[in-house]
Amino acid sequence: MSIVRDAPGKSKSGPGFAPSEVVVQRSFILMGLGALIGLIVAGYALFTAKGTSTLMVPAEDVALVNQQPISRVDYLLQLQAIYSTDLEHATEAQKRKVLDDMIREELFVQRGKELDVASIDPDVRAAMVNAVEQMAAADAISGVPSDAKLKDYYQAHQDRYAQEGRMTAIDFVFPGADDAAQAAKAMQSGEPAQAVAARFHGRDSGKVTGEEFYFAAKIHLGDSLFAIARALPSGGASQPITLQDGAHVIAMVKNIVPVPTDFADAREQVLSDYRNDAIKRVTGSDEVFLRKRANILVAKDLR
């Protein structure tokens, strides 16, 4: 009896098939499939990535102009603003008119960017600055502070929320400090201011005339004299104040001090002021940030 041996490299399961050949063939097939899937994924990512050219208009847009989207929401708002209708009830002519206008606007905006219109047109520059400021201040505008915060702000800026004070005062100027001191003492004792001023060679500076609101009196008298005048009672007189033009004595004929407005009545104004101050802080911070990251060179004669 002869013994039949398996031929080297042959499979026992069938004639002519080696296990190594099957594994190699399977590996090549899987590698090919992997490469194909990779190409498909890469191609999809390439043609759908932001900033790449595409032939499809996204669902959230109504058009692409040089790959710049025209928002469907903006289109619907424009349709409503111009024709007071929605997409369902608008005519084809109305839809086309709004779309054509928006495409025209985008084309001109893009052309303006190419020509760098913003760098030379003051109105465009101002509009761009305003838009950036409003974007930065969006949170401050839309945020609603609590009443506790508003009351704190109200207390810290009490002078803003009061009826404007009024005063009738006379600013006398004397040639010397001694004359001014004697005149002040006489006025404070109750003697008529005009008579006292004449006796001690004083003259009316003319800085204030008749009854004036506090803000006007502050402008006319200056900060230092106004601060003293504001604290005087009706019928009172100040101590001498020596300035470059002589010694001043302020005689207060009538002083009507400001009356604070109740928080409930002033709340709307307080809220507006609170937001305006918040906007100033935010835009100020943005300006500091932009200046830090910018390369700014200033001419030698203006440094």
pLDDT surpasses 60 at 89:
yes
Average pLDDT, the chain: 84
pLDDT surpasses 60 at 106:
yes
Task: Calculate the alpha carbon distances from 217 to 84, 209, 228, 253, 261 in Å.
Answer: 53, 9, 12, 14, 22
Strands annotated E in 86-237: 166-174, 203-204, 211-213
Q: What is the number of residues in the chain?
A: 303
pLDDT surpasses 90 at 76:
yes
Closest Cα to residue 124, out of 135, 109, 137, 106? 109
Angle CA 197–201–207, to nearest 5: 60
What pLDDT, on the 0 to 100 scale, is given for residue 199? 94
186/66 Cα distance (integer angstroms): 85
Q: What is the largest CA-CA distance in the chain?
A: 161
Identify the DSSP state of 27. H
pTM over 0.75: no
pLDDT tens figures, 258-299: 888 999 999 999 999 999 998 888 888 888 888 888 887 776
What pLDDT, on the 0 to 100 scale, is given for residue 52? 55
* Domains in the chain: boundaries: 61-115, 131-162+263-303, 163-256
Q: Residue 16 — very low, low, confident or very high, per pLDDT cuts 50/70/90? A: low
The contacts of residue 85 (CB under 8 Å, 6+ apart) are: 79, 94
pLDDT surpasses 80 at 179:
yes
What pLDDT, on the 0 to 100 scale, is given for residue 10? 47
Task: Calculate the alpha carbon distances from 114 to 4, 110, 118, 218 in Å.
Answer: 86, 6, 10, 52
Q: Residue 42 — very low, low, confident or very high, per pLDDT cuts 50/70/90? A: low
What pLDDT, on the 0 to 100 scale, is given for residue 236? 94
Q: Residue 140 — very low, low, confident or very high, per pLDDT cuts 50/70/90? A: confident
Q: What is the CATH number of domain 163-256?
A: 3.10.50.40
pLDDT surpasses 50 at 141:
yes
pLDDT surpasses 60 at 4:
no
Burial (CB count <10 Å: 0-12, 13-18, 19+), residue 170: buried
For residue 166, count other CB atoms closer than 10 A to its CB.
16
DSSP reduced 3-state for 139: helix
Q: Residue 135 — very low, low, confident or very high, per pLDDT cuts 50/70/90? A: confident
187/198 Cα distance (integer angstroms): 12
What pLDDT, on the 0 to 100 scale, is given for residue 50? 53
229/253 Cα distance (integer angstroms): 11
What pLDDT, on the 0 to 100 scale, is given for residue 251? 95
What spatial distance separates the first Cα and last Cα of the chain, rounded to whole Å? Answer: 113
Tell me which of 141 and 157 has the higher pLDDT.
157
Name the β-bridge partners of 64: 69
